Amino acid sequence: MKNQTTQFPKVIIIGGGFGGIQIAKKMNKKEVDLLMLDRHNYHTFQPLLYQVATGGLEPDSIAFPLRKVFQDQKNFNFRVADVKHINPENKSVTTDIGDFDYDYLVIATGSETNFFGQKEIEHFSMPMKTVPEALNLRSLILQNFEEALVEKDLERKQALMTFVVVGGGPTGVETAGALAELKNHVLVHDYPELDIHNMKIYLFEGSERILEPFSLQASKKAKEFLQNMGVIVMEKTRVNHYDGDKVTYNTTETIFTKGVVWSAGVKGAIIPGLEKAEIVRGGRIKTTNFNLVEGYENIFAIGDLAYMETPEWPHGHPGVAQTAIQQGQQLADNLIRIINNEKPHPFNYFDKGSMATVGRNKAVVDLKYWKFQGFFAWLTWMFIHLLFLVGFRNKAVTLINWIVNYFSYDRGSRVIIRKFNRESMMEEGKAV
């Protein structure tokens, strides 16, 4: 399929995440023919998925139409396409809507949920990497409460009101905190017939401490915040098994629960076809210091998917938006250099720090020379997230929601638009 119209080099970008958007934007007005392919017609602002899942935000607020991002960019084309295979031998990609040729290929597919090969957990637990997944989780939480209301079996009733968040990274911490706020401010009023004290929220973390890559101070404070909100934080706790009814952890311990949120890990979203590439731990693709996939001359990987060893980051860069954004920007420059037969510049990561929010007035921020927690950290967190959220409408609607949520202690989007079908999940699960 001929996808471009000029004689300029054809650059295909797979993925419209933070990295993909940056590289395409940065190549505006350059003499290239850009084609972006994404499974969705929108960019997902992943850091706020947990707020969609817990009824604080509307899905469309964190989804931004990709065509709109590039509406005025003449060298840009877009296709909703699922890329099935990369064919380096004839410089093309195979998708569900046909093949596309490239001169340069940028893989910016990011990461996907890592269940570490545990099929049963994959079947029964709720991941949260896409908008539909966040909406499924929202439905599940609310459906569990509706079911608990009419459930007579006390053990099952308790299981419906028990939520286990697996993985104490920022997503897990934020989800557990949001669940606690939902419990304390919303569900307590929505379900006066239920004893809300029976709602249990566990946060499991396999390592020594939650928010492990953060400072010790941030970890401690986040744990304190969570515990004050009623979350049961369990560190050095590893899940072995979940069968849809019962979580087994640390080999012998069990909890009955009908709601397991899986945020324990991610892996690179690999597309088959790169035989020569080296896939390292976490399913990331090894690249040179200018994001070239080792073994190829015209295939690049950026963001969560890319594994680049540098003296400063000997085990690769953190899997966060900033890495994707900075690598996207740098690679845009480098691609132009490469096209002009100039030498590409090595990537240099500027660490802007990390942050996570636990709840109202509660967040932790780690900057290089300054670590702070609490109200000011929470304001910083909100400001930064609004800043990076794409589009004025999305910023405005999100801000309105946050203001209303803050002053009313409410979560207005606690609506089950599409029911999550537990039965069909169960059947699929049993079929494994």
Q: Is 205 a catalytic residue?
A: no
The pattern of x and - marking residues 277 through 316 that bind its own copies according to CB under 8 A reads ----------------------------------------
Amino acid letter at 154?
Answer: L
391 is a contact residue toward its own copies (CB under 8 A): yes
Number of residues engaging its own copies in binding (CB under 8 A): 49
126 or 301, CB closer to its own copies?
A: 126
62 or 364, CB closer to its own copies?
A: 62
Which residue in the set 412, 421, 422, 426 belongs to the binding site for its own copies (CB under 8 A)? 412
* Residue 432 CA to its chain's centroid (Å): 26
Distance between CA 21 and CA 3 in Å, rounded? Answer: 19
Which residue in the set 37, 107, 135, 137 belongs to the binding site for its own copies (CB under 8 A)? 135
Given the rule CB under 8 A, which of 127-135, 237-245, 303-311, 347-355 is the region that contacts its own copies?
A: 127-135
339 or 404, CB closer to its own copies?
A: 404
* Cβ neighbours, 10 Å, residue 227: 13
Backbone angles phi, psi at 246, to 5 degrees: -140, 125
Closest separation in Å from C-beta 97 to its own copies: 5
Q: At what angle do helices 375-388 and 392-408 cross, to 10 degrees?
A: 150
Q: Which of 359, 331, 273, 278 is nearest to 50 (CA)?
A: 359
60 or 294, CB closer to its own copies?
A: 60
273 is a contact residue toward its own copies (CB under 8 A): no
Q: Give the number of C-alpha atoms closer than 13 A to the C-alpha of residue 98, restricted to the C-beta side.
A: 6
CB 91 within 8 A of CB 99: no
Burial label for 272, CB within 10 Å (0-12, 13-18, 19+), is exposed
Q: At what angle do helices 18-26 and 321-339 cross, to 10 degrees?
A: 30
Rg (CA), the chain: 22
The length of the chain in residues reads: 432
Given the rule CB under 8 A, which of 6-14, 158-166, 186-194, 289-297 is the region that contacts its own copies?
A: 186-194
79 is a contact residue toward its own copies (CB under 8 A): yes
Distance between CA 93 and CA 99 in Å, rounded? Answer: 6
59 is a contact residue toward its own copies (CB under 8 A): yes
Q: What residues contact residue 195 under an 8 Å CB cut-off, 6+ apart?
A: none
Which residue in the set 367, 416, 425, 426 belongs to the binding site for its own copies (CB under 8 A)? 416
The residue annotated as part of the active site, out of 147, 151, 174, 428, is 174
Quickly count helices (H) and strands (E) in the chain: 13, 25
163 is a contact residue toward its own copies (CB under 8 A): no
265 is a contact residue toward its own copies (CB under 8 A): no
228 or 408, CB closer to its own copies?
A: 408
84 is a contact residue toward its own copies (CB under 8 A): no
By CB under 8 A, name the binding residues for its own copies.
1, 40-42, 58-61, 63-65, 67-68, 71, 77, 79-80, 97-98, 131-132, 135, 142-143, 146, 149-150, 189-191, 193, 391-394, 396-397, 400-401, 404, 408, 410, 412-418
Catalytic residue list: 174
